[in-house]
Structure 1
Amino acid sequence: MAYLEGLWMLGASFLGTLFLFITWFHPAFSLNEVFFFSIVFSILSSSWIGFIVQGFWYNEFNEQGIIISNAFFTVLVLLYAKSAYKKIKMSIENFRFITAASTNAAYMSGKGSNSPYAEMFREYVRNGNGLMFHIFALLCFIMFYTLFDHHSLSIGEDGASYSGGGCWGDIAFHLDIISSFLYGPNVHFKPWALSNPIYSGTTLQYTLLPDYHSAMLIKGGFSVRHAFFGPGVLMSWSICCLLYFYTFRFTEGSKAAGWLAVAFFCFSGGVGFFSWIHKHGMTWSGLVDNDFAQHWEYGELFWFQTITHVLVPQRPALFGYPGVLMIFILLWTATSAPLCHSLTLKEKKRIFIVAGIVAGMLPFFQAHSWMGVMAVLGVYGLSETFKWVNEPFYFLNWLRFGIIAVVWAFPQFVVFAQRGKEWGFAQFKPLWTDPSFSGTGNPIMFWFYSLGFFVFLSLGFFFILNGKQKQWYLGHLALFAFANLFLLQPWTKDNIKIINIYMFGASSVVGLGLVRLFNRDSSGVKGRRDKLSAPSPILTPHQRLEQSQSILAPFYDSPVVVKFNEFCANPFFQTATWATALKVVVILLVVSMCFTGVISVIREPNLHWRFQDNEDLATGQWIIDHTDPYAVFATSEGHIVPVSTNAGRQHVAGYPGWLYSHAYNGWYDRTLHVKEMWAGDQKAYERFKEYNVSYMLREWHMTVNEAFLSECCSEQYRSDSGRYAIYKVERTEKPQPPQVEQQ
């Protein structure tokens, strides 16, 4: 029963959204698409409703926000259950008819029957919802279930909690924020004035809603482990399946391109696998002991492996990216012929409004996602300006989307404004100029080391796209160019957060290009499978006409391109030998671009490190029970500290890596000031007053000035093994030396 309120929150929000979207969007979007839309929208919107109610109405983190959120979605369930039921019932009845007839090959092919159910089944499969999709979705679910089960604070036989990989480092920071709402200074809060648990006296300027959602689940009865585990599995699963549907729609029906796109995104990686083969002889110990996604024998690599370094540990990306894909699917469908012609004006209006709402919600989940969406759609929208004049409703729909997305996002970026002043919105510094990474000074080698052939294929295959696809994909390329030239945060690798949005489009394009190459037969045309894919890279007369009328016509008519087309028309390229060679090349390219990512994911469940034990938990509980929620602590520089991880109290200065990457002003000086306190420096008393320090938490490995501690503090707590000791600051003025009486 302890889980009841949290389960109600997840269940009611999902069902309410599902019934609403089935009523609004089905059959324009398949039930599978609507299912994953509902997972994403329900988690994002329930977080926002709780945050608004608790922050603006109650100014307190309490159960009322959860109850109101649950009540809102319960009303949606009641309002739309009947209409959704009718559509679902019709789909089930139709599916039963077509399943019963599926044993008749002639019937299902349409050659032996004109039954509408046979055509319906063929349409269902053509829309990417066949058996292979469900097998693919099941495999994705199993993969993410396994990874999150290992890394979401699993409990070992010794009673300690365990995590691993990048999650072991990042989960502590997220717990700092979660605990600050549950037990710390953010129990009472205003949305624009949240206390920062890792940098006392400052406002929390962070994309906090993923952690707020977990705090709501814990308040509703979930354990800390399951508050991470449940949403993690659902959102990562949604990313894979929505990317498949996005690619399927973008490529106009290529299921194979959809599967490849998911593989390229999830298993992205560079040349690290070469070191595993060459230096470590493909041994198991060599794999487990080395992170080949980030390192190889000749230096460090720029790239973060998408699953092991981004989706599992980085919660903002985990919550932001599904929203991005949902927006892309909605707006691609609403603006692409012939898909958009089958939609009524009311349906198009709903699509743009829902897309705007999702975009508006993104900044407090992941600001990079909002910027990526607006960049891609901004470029695409500009390329469509001629439609704004001829089709007023088209312009009005984009206007609705833009107003909702910008107006809702604006106050969120106001919260980030101070952080922006300290670092700036962006600084011109090309990625390949960072001396830390292999390929420094050479953008071609930089990206080859990081992602293999992927970037080059994503650029080259631009020219096989049709006009509509080019317009859409230009936004992804513009975003990639921007992220290559400008740093958004001090740490260079943080730009990967926005490059991953380019990866959505690039993975689709590379998948499409490789499928076309693979499906070429000896006549130089596409193979029999990918029926809805465009022809081979050798241009058809229709494609040549389209290019001659485009703004890139001078490029297509240039001598280099003309010579290339003539070269491709050589009879040798129409032979079976060439077609077979292309298939081999495609297979080798796919393997080379995914090998590092695959071995990284295989390695990940074997990284199992202790996170906290009962002594850590007991220390955190003592702090909750015996100190003020607003108390400020001086601590070590470790990233797992009961002060914030368990009790949500504020550090004078938390883990330096976080302070640096978040660009806090004066963070390095403050870490030195904390060291002055522990050393009993002559300025230590001034630092106590400057930072309003109430307590000091000492860990067993720290070297401190014992005499100073006994002079200014009193010991309040010592853990069972002596690993932790907590001192209360009793004196903030340096004692005066006794005066000598004059004779």
Structure 2
Amino acid sequence: MILAVIFIIVSVITGFLVTYFLAAKYSLFERGAYGIAIGLGLQTWLVYLFSLIWKLQFICIYFSIALSLLFCILFFIINRSDIKLKILYEATDIKKDFLLNKTSYFAHIAVFAFFTVIFCRLFYRTIIWKETGIYVGLSNNYGDLPLHLAYITSFAWGDNVPPLDPAFAGKKLTYPILSDFLSAIFLKSGLNFRNILFIPGFLLTISFYGILYYFTYRITKKRLAATLSTFIFFLSGGFGFYYFFQDLANTSGSIWEFLSNLPQNYTKIPPLNYHWITPLTCLNVPQRSFLFGFPFTMLIFLFLYTGIQKKQWKEFLFAGVVAGALPFFHTHSFLAMLMVTIPLGIIYWDWRKWFLFFFPAFILSLPQVWYFSSHVDSERFFKFQFGWMAGDENFLWFWIKNTSLFWFFVIGGGVLFFLKQNTTALSRLKYFPLTFLILFLIPNILLFAPWAWDNIKMLIYWYLGVTPLAALALTYLYENKRLKILSRTVFFLSAFSLIAAGFIDVFKFAIAPINGWKEFSTEEIELAKQIVNETPADAIFLNATVHNHPVFLTGRKSLMGFPGHVWSHGHSGGREREVDINAMLRGKPNAISLINKYKADYAIIGHHEKRKYANKDFFKKNYTCIINTRSYQVFDLNKKITPDLTSDIVVKKNGLSVRYYDNEDWRGAPVFEEITADINFNWANDDDKFVPSPFSIAYEGYIIIKNAGQYTFTLASDDGSWLYINENLLIDNGGVHRVQSKSETITLKKGVHKMVIKYFDKGGGAVLKLTWKPLSRGRESVIPARALLPQKPLNTLKNRQNGLSVKYYDTIEWHDEPIYEDIDTEIEFDWPNNSAKFFNSPFGIIWEGFINIDTADTYTFVLSSDDGSWLYINNALIIDNGGSHMVREKSGSVFLEKGKHKIKIKYFDEKGGAVFRLLWKNSDGSVVKIPVERFSVHENESSEANEM
């Protein structure tokens, strides 16, 4: 925290002092506004250059601060008397001006305070912390925030310098990085996510506010015009405010209730072709590169205007240095700057001065431009499209309704400016604002980004460049004394039309109560912390291709994030990689080879992956799970599991085959297939669902019936479901409805019976649960996985060579007939609750059979259980671990001759968790599991045919 404060103070002081290299006269307020952007930009570049050597480490921050302090000290020593006089002179100037224009100063202080509050609240809402997770306060920032956090954390925690794209592993980062790099410096300095976004956003927007004010003031020489320019730009919008009043008229609640829950944005109404969104909510906050792009680009224009006006070469040189630093801050701003400065150079040609601008701009920007051009698929960035977003709508009307009366005041202000400059010695300055029209004409013909709307990143500089003209025209209306009442009426109505829609949208996001839009849950934040602690900084993750994956909070690299971001940033091969990622997540036959191809280190399986039909069993079977939370598992793809080919689990997969369809009537090819025994889900909305609605599911396989008799099945669902046994419809729970249950009883013979369940969901919640009552008695329970098979077995029990016979009872006293029988090869379990248990509590179990002893000796057995358990060998009680208790371990010893000995184990569970383990001691004293090969059901042979 302290380091961040020192960094900011040193940066601002350095930037402030640097302005004294300029030749023209500037006020202290100007130098303060310019110094914030210049100082933070200079420090960011310095730390980045040091990071190319050491990565982003504290030494880089210390060195940049030390260099800046050294500069400040030397600057004061060399220019002490001169700087002192200039500061005193400028302070005196402000004092005199204040005494002469108190009303104007107080008015501007009020306006500045208003915008300061707006900026503060907007940037403070960039991230909203709640108990349930991280939310974003602006809807326009929902898609961008996680990507910026990915960049920031990759610099601070992922050693990602020189930068690779953390959202497209293995590719160079083609996004302008330095705004996010500044936030990474703050993150490294100990600030939290909210403050690393709030502090640079707030400071640089305050700086930009001052630069815009003084840019307008230097062009118009009118304080009112300068003040109006900030309203015109920051609250710009079109005629969308008409729909605000329409919605207000139709509301049934109070005005405050309506204002607190505005039904839509009024500068962004795509169905009505409103696309000119007020800059504060669509550019300043979500498009973080504009944090430096706006102030730096407008500084360049301001210095060039001043240099042309005052004939000062230092302004040209300084503007050239800032222009050369611009591409890594914001590429679109750099392009916009070139499109204006080249014609400015032609109009105001003085080769010496323009050489001082273009030479440093060219030398400094060349490596940055080469870097971007060599790693971007330029074919996606430049193509012809007339009218920007106008489409089939009349071009002129499209721009009038999107920008209100702005064009009319630009034309009026242009005429006034032209006439005013004709009366001065520097009449050539009258052409200066006209060069900004290029930034309107070209982006209305040519697209500069894959997304057409992104041309606003160029068009916004047309708007900025001619805003002083519109402000001048409005000022003329206000100051007109001939028709004062009429002029001021027109002034207020016109000003209202220019800023009403933008003000409403800014009010919605900055002032009104807001719940926000959820980006990351608390569980995902904790998961990110575990990933940071337990994985290397350069790790590559296999995850679902979504915009807000928790891996973006870790500084680690993702094989791929949101495909739209990959495409819009000019990367090629995105579609192929997306297909491969889906194949890996689904555990397709080529999944392992693809994982090796992309060199992924870890895989995350959670909510996002399930919606991409991820096959968790594939990863559980093949890779080690290193992190396990309620909804997420992280698998180490460098730690493969060698399957135990003797395991009964490998030989026989339990469950039913399930197929998911992306329609409600099982049409076409399934979008996902797997084998599952979990016929039980309750999904509240599409975010929870495995497949978004509408969808359908078909389960198919066989149910093993060990004892003939009547079985009651219950099917609960929302929406429709059907259960078929032996191809006959047993339960019809069809139709669109809320959760409802239906039950039917059927008599089944001992053996295997075909089972099919069909389900569909039309929308809303999705619920399905299948339960049964074996032999139509006892409690209703979920059908155990071991009773379900995806294919008809071939003498399943005959294939089991070893084990003990097991009987389950629905009491803790082993009364009546058992409700389930089998041959058990896994004589242990650890079930934390009823949903994990084979049968719901209370229940009892008896294992019986023989244990084969190959050497006569004394053997020590160990019983660990929750609740009671007893071990009998040759009808003698060896261990009494009875009673209701938590997990408890007891042991007993017995001498056994070589050969087979009768063994019996009894167990019961009353409630809570259910745990059971049978172990013995090796000759070395270690306690181990008894090999299943030691057990058999019959005395005379290790395996005997058992009919089903």
- Asked if Structure 1 and Structure 2 have the same fold, meaning a TM-score greater than 0.5 normalized by the shorter chain, the answer is yes
Secondary structure of 2:432's counterpart equals helix
Indicate whether 1:693 and 2:691 are aligned. no
Q: What does 1:309-458 align with in structure 2 at a 5 Å threshold?
A: 309-336=282-309, 340=310, 348-385=312-349, 388=350, 395-423=351-379, 426-432=382-388, 435=391, 440-458=392-410
Question: How far is the alpha carbon of 1:412 from its aligned partner?
Answer: 0.5
Q: Deviations over 1:221-241 (max 9, x none)?
A: 333322211111111111112
Comparing 315-324 and 621-630, the one that deviates more: 621-630
Indicate whether 1:203 and 2:172 are aligned. yes
Distance 2:642 2:164 in 1: 29
Question: How far is the alpha carbon of 1:195 from its aligned partner?
Answer: 1.4
Distance 2:155 2:535 in 1: 16
Indicate whether 1:590 and 2:542 are aligned. no
Contact 2:128/2:137 (<8 A) preserved: no
Relative to structure 1, the CA distance from residue 125 to residue 242 in structure 2 (aligned partners, 3 Å threshold; closer, same or farther) is farther
Secondary structure of 2:603's counterpart equals strand
Query: Which AA in structure 2 matches 1:367?
Result: T
Relative to structure 1, the CA distance from residue 431 to residue 14 in structure 2 (aligned partners, 3 Å threshold; closer, same or farther) is same
Match of 1:680 among 566, 580, 587: 587
Distance 1:296 1:17 in 2: 41
Distance 1:663 1:94 in 2: 48
Relative to structure 1, the CA distance from residue 261 to residue 96 in structure 2 (aligned partners, 3 Å threshold; closer, same or farther) is closer
Name 1:169's counterpart in structure 2: 143
Contact 1:271/1:296 (<8 A) preserved: no
Query: Which AA in structure 2 matches 1:716?
Result: I
Distance 2:170 2:100 in 1: 57
Contact 2:381/2:570 (<8 A) preserved: no
Question: How far is the alpha carbon of 1:245 from its aligned partner?
Answer: 0.7
Indicate whether 1:514 and 2:512 are aligned. no
Q: Deviations over 1:4-31 (max 9, x none)?
A: 222222111211232342x434870111
Contact 2:380/2:570 (<8 A) preserved: no
Name 1:272's counterpart in structure 2: 240
Query: Which AA in structure 1 matches 2:59?
Result: Q
Indicate whether 1:484 and 2:444 are aligned. yes
Question: How far is the alpha carbon of 1:97 from its aligned partner?
Answer: 11
Query: Which AA in structure 2 matches 1:203?
Result: K
Distance 2:50 2:607 in 1: 43
Relative to structure 1, the CA distance from residue 289 to residue 583 in structure 2 (aligned partners, 3 Å threshold; closer, same or farther) is closer
Secondary structure of 2:604's counterpart equals strand
Relative to structure 1, the CA distance from residue 664 to residue 290 in structure 2 (aligned partners, 3 Å threshold; closer, same or farther) is farther
Name 1:69's counterpart in structure 2: 64
Match of 2:45 among 41, 45, 48: 48
Name 2:201's counterpart in structure 1: 232
Match of 1:222 among 191, 194, 205: 191
Q: Deviations over 1:163-195 (max 9, x none)?
A: 311234322111101111122251xx33xxx21
Query: Which AA in structure 2 matches 1:503?
Result: Y
Distance 2:90 2:354 in 1: 36
Q: Deviations over 1:691-713 (max 9, x none)?
A: 22222112236142244233333
Q: Deviations over 1:452-485 (max 9, x none)?
A: 2213432454333224443211221012111111
Secondary structure of 1:489's counterpart equals coil
Q: Which has the higher strand share?
A: 2
Contact 1:634/1:696 (<8 A) preserved: yes
Match of 1:501 among 461, 473, 477: 461
Distance 2:599 2:119 in 1: 44
Contact 2:149/2:553 (<8 A) preserved: yes
Indicate whether 1:714 and 2:624 are aligned. yes
Secondary structure of 2:168's counterpart equals coil
Query: Which AA in structure 1 matches 2:397?
Result: M
Query: Which AA in structure 1 matches 2:547?
Result: H
Relative to structure 1, the CA distance from residue 415 to residue 590 in structure 2 (aligned partners, 3 Å threshold; closer, same or farther) is same
Name 1:631's counterpart in structure 2: 539
Contact 1:694/1:729 (<8 A) preserved: yes
Name 1:308's counterpart in structure 2: 281
Name 1:554's counterpart in structure 2: none
Contact 2:386/2:445 (<8 A) preserved: yes
Query: Which AA in structure 2 matches 1:67?
Result: Y
Query: Which AA in structure 1 matches 2:61?
Result: I
Contact 1:303/1:493 (<8 A) preserved: no
Number of aligned residues: 626
Q: What does 1:541-556 align with in structure 2 at a 5 Å threshold?
A: none
Query: Which AA in structure 2 matches 1:660?
Result: W
Q: Deviations over 1:435-460 (max 9, x none)?
A: 4xxxx342112212321221343245
Indicate whether 1:135 and 2:110 are aligned. yes
Q: What does 1:566-585 align with in structure 2 at a 5 Å threshold?
A: 576=483, 580-585=485-490
Comparing 492-501 and 223-232, the one that deviates more: 223-232
Q: Which has the higher helix share?
A: 1
Secondary structure of 1:244's counterpart equals helix
Match of 1:12 among 1, 10, 13: 10
Distance 1:735 1:463 in 2: 82
Relative to structure 1, the CA distance from residue 452 to residue 137 in structure 2 (aligned partners, 3 Å threshold; closer, same or farther) is same
Name 2:820's counterpart in structure 1: none
Relative to structure 1, the CA distance from residue 324 to residue 273 in structure 2 (aligned partners, 3 Å threshold; closer, same or farther) is same
Contact 2:278/2:505 (<8 A) preserved: yes
Contact 2:266/2:501 (<8 A) preserved: yes
Distance 1:361 1:465 in 2: 32
Query: Which AA in structure 1 matches 2:370?
Result: V
Name 1:35's counterpart in structure 2: 32
Name 1:261's counterpart in structure 2: 229
Question: How far is the alpha carbon of 1:514 from its aligned partner?
Answer: 2.0
Indicate whether 1:121 and 2:77 are aligned. no
Name 2:219's counterpart in structure 1: 250
Q: Deviations over 1:183-210 (max 9, x none)?
A: 2251xx33xxx21100112111110011
Name 1:561's counterpart in structure 2: none
Question: How far is the alpha carbon of 1:601 from its aligned partner?
Answer: 0.7
Question: How far is the alpha carbon of 1:422 from its aligned partner?
Answer: 4.3
Distance 2:373 2:209 in 1: 33
Contact 2:547/2:561 (<8 A) preserved: yes
Distance 1:408 1:123 in 2: 44
Relative to structure 1, the CA distance from residue 276 to residue 62 in structure 2 (aligned partners, 3 Å threshold; closer, same or farther) is same
Name 2:577's counterpart in structure 1: 670
Secondary structure of 1:279's counterpart equals helix
Question: How far is the alpha carbon of 1:737 from its aligned partner?
Answer: 11
Relative to structure 1, the CA distance from residue 94 to residue 277 in structure 2 (aligned partners, 3 Å threshold; closer, same or farther) is closer
Distance 2:386 2:466 in 1: 20
TM-score normalized by the length of structure 2: 0.62
Query: Which AA in structure 1 matches 2:119?
Result: F
Q: What does 1:290-309 align with in structure 2 at a 5 Å threshold?
A: 290-296=263-269, 298-309=271-282
Contact 1:429/1:486 (<8 A) preserved: yes
Q: Deviations over 1:83-125 (max 9, x none)?
A: 46865577558967996xxxxxxxxxxxxxxxxxxxx537985
Question: How far is the alpha carbon of 1:611 from its aligned partner?
Answer: 4.0
Secondary structure of 1:239's counterpart equals helix
Relative to structure 1, the CA distance from residue 30 to residue 699 in structure 2 (aligned partners, 3 Å threshold; closer, same or farther) is same
Contact 2:293/2:330 (<8 A) preserved: yes
Structure 2 residues not aligned, in runs of 5+:
419-426, 652-948
Question: How far is the alpha carbon of 1:509 from its aligned partner?
Answer: 0.7
| Greater length-normalized contact order (CA 8 Å, ≥ 6 residues apart) | 1
Relative to structure 1, the CA distance from residue 5 to residue 460 in structure 2 (aligned partners, 3 Å threshold; closer, same or farther) is same
Name 1:182's counterpart in structure 2: 156
TM-score normalized by the length of structure 1: 0.78
Contact 2:98/2:105 (<8 A) preserved: no
Match of 1:78 among 37, 59, 73: 73
Distance 1:408 1:97 in 2: 37
